[in-house]
Structure 1
Amino acid sequence: MPLLDTPVRLGVQIQPQHVPYDGIRDAVRRLEDLGVDIIFNWDHFFPLHGDPDGLHFESWSMLGAWAEQTERVEFGALVNCNSYRNPDLQADMARTLDHISGGRFIFGTGAGWFERDYDEYGYEFGTPGTRLNDLARGLARIEERWAKLNPAPLRRIPVMIGGKGEQKTLRLVARHADIWHSFVRPEDIAHKVSVIERWAETEQRDVSNLVISSEAHRQSLEFADPLYDAGARLITVAFMGPDFDYDLVRGWLRWRDAKNG
């Protein structure tokens, strides 16, 4: 079982849609000042909610701006889409953000799922299976590229993989991840962790320090205690503009601080 004595961290996912960029920039500043641990965006080309043709911004360009703007908070995408960029390029981009930020970048990644992104930007959508196979090949290339880059990353860049599929996704978690973003309810976490541990034996990798991450989008604070009891130590909440709710974040920060004593 992953260690449970690691501190609770709070992530906030700024949805990069329906907001002019100066609103996003201000939200990043205010969230860091409030004391959140990690700020995420997402890697899509169109809004996922509301007007499908509304305002929207690209993930990695934004992360470069955040790397310069911020001083303390960690940051990354929840999650990058492996399909949209050559894996070696992803590795180099991640290493560069790592250096710009002084070692605060988290490489969250996944196989992709939003078909409109693929269709309108000219990528082959394939099937869930082919996209997961591409992710497996991509992660191997990314780790190989990190070992070759000059200068090397400032730290072992944390890899976060999201998903719950037991035959492919959780095996990739066991093989590569430092953080597993679970997408499951509290009562299902223990079983999924047991699957990861079985795959870790096959992969001959130690996952005792794996951090369990869960999202609490549209959930009350009461939902957080069962996640905590199940082992989740990174909780991420959605942050939707243009009218960002900072009181929501303050409530979650009070919960985090109470758990950390």
Structure 2
Amino acid sequence: MTRTIRIGLQLQPQQQPDYRVIRDTVLRAEDAGVDIVFNWDHFFPLYGDPDGAHFECWTMLGAWAEQTERIEIGALVTGGGYRNPDLLADMARTVDHISGGRLILGIGSGWFEKDYDEYGYDFGTKGSRLDLLAEYMPRITSRFQKLNPPPTRHIPILIGGGGPKKTLPLVAKYADIWHSFGEFETHVEKSEILAQRCADLGRNPDEIERSTDWPGVDKAAVYVEQGITQFTVGIGGPDYDLARLVEAIAWRDASAGLA
């Protein structure tokens, strides 16, 4: 399956108390030619001042749906345990309509303990959080079928993570996009495991788009050779410097036909 190389931006909504700066950064990224703009689903900064400025994920996605015209939008990734799954499906369907069919539903099991503790969620264990995500995924996809009006399209589901026993089986069953973390060798190893999980279900693994963080111009082509066609540049506040994003977009445009 031939795919077009796509560049995403993860605009991390932290350390910038003036939302207008975030809004304008989204516009600058769209004008620069980015394909996707993600935020993340946390309640506190992940680096810098731990009590610094931070904004919520899904209300922000609704605003981005209105202010943008071309790019896809989503969270990299939604914390699976933070919201009732049927409600999350309804939220996603609504943002899908507001955006005219440009939402990606990125989801994972969650991991940042402060989010859970401060907002009253049960942190549990890594295994229990993944079990909860496994329980929620069929409820999300089922709710999509019941909503009136339905989504404007099949909302692509992005699952982030690479655990071989629990996460990759969920990727094989539900994901349209798999976002892997870690070094190149780790991705290669996990990709082979994912192919086996897909085979167990009778699914072609090539149906799943492969995604990872932007590795830089000098390494990106090697990742493409392993089937990765979506790269995401992460930037945080307060300044939101788009230099690495512009570099990645230029590489994408120069690499047309590589994938």
- Offset of residue 246 of structure 1: 2.4
The yes-or-no answer on 1:13 pairing with 2:10 is yes
Q: Aligned ranges for residues 191-206 of structure 1 at < 5 Å?
A: 191-206=189-204
Q: After superposition, give the CA deviation of every residue in 1:194-217 in whole Å (9 maximum; x if it has no partner).
A: 21121122223333221100102x
Residue 85 (structure 1) shift:
0.2
Structure 2 stretches lacking a partner, 5+ long? none
SS at match of 1:12: strand
Alignment of 1:72-221 (within 5 A): 72-216=70-214, 219-221=215-217
TM-score normalised per structure 2: 0.95
Q: Partners of 1:204 and 1:30 in 2: how far apart?
A: 42
How far apart, CA to CA, are the structure 1 residues paired with 2:33 and 2:150? 29
CA contact (8 A) 1:111 1:131 kept: yes
| 1:228 corresponds to 2:258 | no
Matched, 1:247 2:243: yes
Q: Which letter maps to 1:256?
A: R
Q: Distance between the aligned counterparts of 1:122 and 1:80, measured in 2?
A: 17
Measure, in 2, the Cα distance between the counterparts of 1:205 and 1:131: 25
Residue-by-residue CA offset, 1:82-137 (whole Å, 9 max, x unaligned): 11100000000000011000000000000000000100100000001110010011
Letter in 2 for 1:110: G
| Preserved contact between residue 159 and residue 177 of structure 1 (Cα < 8 Å) | yes
Task: Give the unaligned 5+ runs of structure 1.
Answer: none
Cα deviations across residues 23-75 of structure 1 (Å, max 9, x unaligned)? 00000011011110000000000000000110000000000000001010001
Query: Structure 2: how far apart are the matches of 1:117 and 1:12?
Result: 23
SS in 1 for 2:212: strand
Identical positions, percent: 54
C-alpha separation between the residues in 2 aligned to 1:103 and 1:220?
A: 30
SS of alignment partner, residue 251 of structure 1: helix
**1:186–1:230 contact (8 Å) kept in structure 2:** no
One-letter amino acid of the counterpart of residue 53, structure 1:
D
Q: How does 1:56-75 map to 2 (within 5 A)?
A: 56-75=54-73
In the aligned structure 1, how far is the partner of 2:228 from the partner of 2:198?
Answer: 19
Amino acid of the structure 1 residue aligned with 2:230: L
SS of 1:61's equivalent in the other structure is helix
CA distance in 2, matches of 1:249, 1:133: 35
In the TM superposition, residue 260 of structure 1 has moved relative to its aligned partner by 1.4
The whole-number CA distance in structure 2 between the counterparts of 1:205 and 1:230 is: 19
Q: Quick check: 1:187–1:230 contact (8 Å CA) kept in 2?
A: no
- Structure 2 distance, partners of 1:257, 1:70, is 21
Counterpart secondary structure, 1:123: coil
